[in-house]
Amino acid sequence: MGKAKAYKPKTQQHNRPAHRAREEDNQHGSRDEDVLKRNEDDSQDYCQAVVMDPLKGLSLRMWDFAQCDPKRCTGARLVKRGIFQRMNLKQSFRGIVLSPQATVSVSPADAKILEESGMSLIDCSWARLAEIPFKQMQAGHHRLLPFMVAANTVNYGRPSKLSCAEACAATLYICNKKDAAKAVLSEFSWGEEFVKLNEEVLDLYASCSDSADVVDKQNDWLSNAEAQVEQDHDRPDDLPPSDDDLESDEYESEPELDSFGNTIVKGGAAASVHESK
């Protein structure tokens, strides 16, 4: 005899009419309109997330000569965060190279180079520039930065003594990539201060047409700033009277007494003496 098959109860299948199924689906929120709206919302969220990364597609490099304190080095921090990439001297590079040896100022005209080939910085100490082999870094488009003041904790307020992060952000800003510039600076507590200190000149440089225009606008701004300082220095200060002035006024208002304590009243050329009581 064969083995008896295990009994499996048959599940009762219910075939819902089409109109009944649509009604029940609508009650559970699976209408076509809801599906489309949900997909549109997801698409918008995704696109917004992409737009919120202003550094996407930008190639930011640096040559690291290990002259700075790694705890204070802004370039090293940006490498650690994945914003910068280190590059060796023999590596070919066709982008913007920020170098103190350059003779051309960075300008909005460099935006195309920045977008297509990126930017590289020289991470070194301002006090040890003589040790940098600039002759080995001839590739790329070398650029200088116009006048700005530093906001980093090492050189705060000093003109042109910018850190790697500040130099990178300034170049991005001048090339009309302000969101990217602020994204770089957001990695540092003093980042917003750099924009506040230099916003006027940064906007001025970003409005220029080329390098020559940047230099002209920079020189005009510096001349006006120096003239304003001299004007403020020559302007008399509206200060309250000193204690000495107040004391002299008090002494003048007090009556003059003779050796006997009598008040001496002066009137015209003659002076009369009144006996004090």
DSSP 16-36: --HHHHHHHHHHTT--HHHHH
Show the DSSP H helices in the chain as ranges. Answer: 18-27, 32-51, 74-80, 111-117, 164-174, 178-185, 191-206, 211-234, 243-253
29 close to 87: Cβ distance less than 8 angstroms: no
Distances (CA, A) of 250 to 81, 143, 219, 271: 69, 67, 53, 22
* Residue 118 in tokens: 């990126």
pLDDT, one tens digit per residue, over 179-204 is 999 999 999 999 999 999 999 999 99
Contacts of 196 (CB under 8 A, 6+ apart): 151
Half-sphere exposure of 164 (CA within 13 A, CB side): 32
Model confidence at 125, in pLDDT bands (50, 70, 90)? Answer: low
- For the stretch 30-51, pLDDT in tens is 555 665 565 555 555 544 444 5
> In terms of DSSP bridges, do strands 263-267 and 256-257 run parallel, antiparallel, or are they unpaired?
antiparallel
Q: What is the pLDDT at residue 222?
A: 96
Residue-level pLDDT at 201: 97
Give the span between the Cα atoms of 277 and 261, in whole angstroms.
Answer: 9
Give this prediction's pTM: 0.64
Residue of higher predicted confidence among 178 and 274: 178
Q: What angle do CA 262, 265, 270 make, to 5 degrees?
A: 120
Higher pLDDT, 25 or 205: 205
Q: Residue written as tokens 């590079």?
A: 93
C-alpha dihedral (133, 135, 141, 144), degrees to nearest 10: 60
Residues 264-273: b if buried by 16+ CB within 10 A, e if exposed: eeeeeeeeee
State the chain's mean pLDDT as an integer: 76
Burial class for 59, CB neighbours closer than 10 Å (0-12, 13-18, 19+): middle
Instruction: Compute the distance between CA of residue 214 and CA of residue 269 in angstroms, rounded to an integer.
Output: 73
pLDDT at 53: 82
User: 210-262: per-residue pLDDT in tens?
Assistant: 999 999 999 999 999 999 888 887 766 655 655 555 555 544 555 666 655 56
pLDDT, tens digit, for every residue of 162-175? 988 999 999 999 99
Main-chain dihedrals φ then ψ at residue 230, nearest 5 degrees:
-65, -40
